[in-house]
Structure 1
Amino acid sequence: MTIQRMDHVSVVVDDLEAAKAFFVQLGMELEGEAPVAGESVDRVNGIDGIRVDIAMMRTPDGHGRLELTKFHHPQAVESQPENAPNILGLRSIMFAVDDIDAAVAGLLPHGAELVGEVVQYEDSYRLCYLRGPAGIIVALAEQLG
């Protein structure tokens, strides 16, 4: 058995419209939206009565995808946005950008907050972590040279 590819990363959000706007501002494209419910959804999740709306976002190159999920039933469990970057579990979602300063400036009005600061790593990259929708950490990397 060999995997074929990583299909997507899924993020549960409380405000689907705001999350879509955040990732569109970053440069992702809305691939599609759909309500999702039914017996097979309940069974795969191990929860009865699931009703969600999803928005599938994709990177401009078409290779990366991000599923944004808004739970209507049952209600989503509150996240812990104050969690530090060293907490166990999914750490961050990283995107390569061509201008990190412009990307940060464009995301701040969409609720992004810098976790630390924009830094230069050796002569290779400028990097930063932002707290994005639902408290997730969005990492940005601008390759230098």
Structure 2
Amino acid sequence: MKKLHTLASSLLLAAALAAPAAVMAHAEHGQPQYGGIFAEAGEAQLELVNQAGKVALYVTQHGAPVPVQGGKARLTVLEGGAKRELQLAPAAENRLEAAASLKPGAKVVAAVELPGRKPLQARFEVK
């Protein structure tokens, strides 16, 4: 019985020591990393960045970059009663972008297709 108690105590101690490491591994999860607006998108996360005449969409998974080569994205933008679509193309490791800008208050639906992954979708409101 004492052996079982010692084993259970050891397992509990190991789990308690591992918990902070798991939390630190996901510190970036849920937080904007590129100065934009963050949203959950199924198995990944998307961050919409609107600056300097470009609209960029960054793809991450638990804070780690997700390669976008061979992928594409479409933004459906609702601004002041008008609807338009933007096609984004790969521009860097985990960034898709287009030459455009979004007005504050615009509502955006992002649809992302990446090779070998399920389609991703997220909604944003530009601030």
Q: TM-score, normalised by structure 2?
A: 0.30
Larger strand proportion, structure 1 or 2? 2
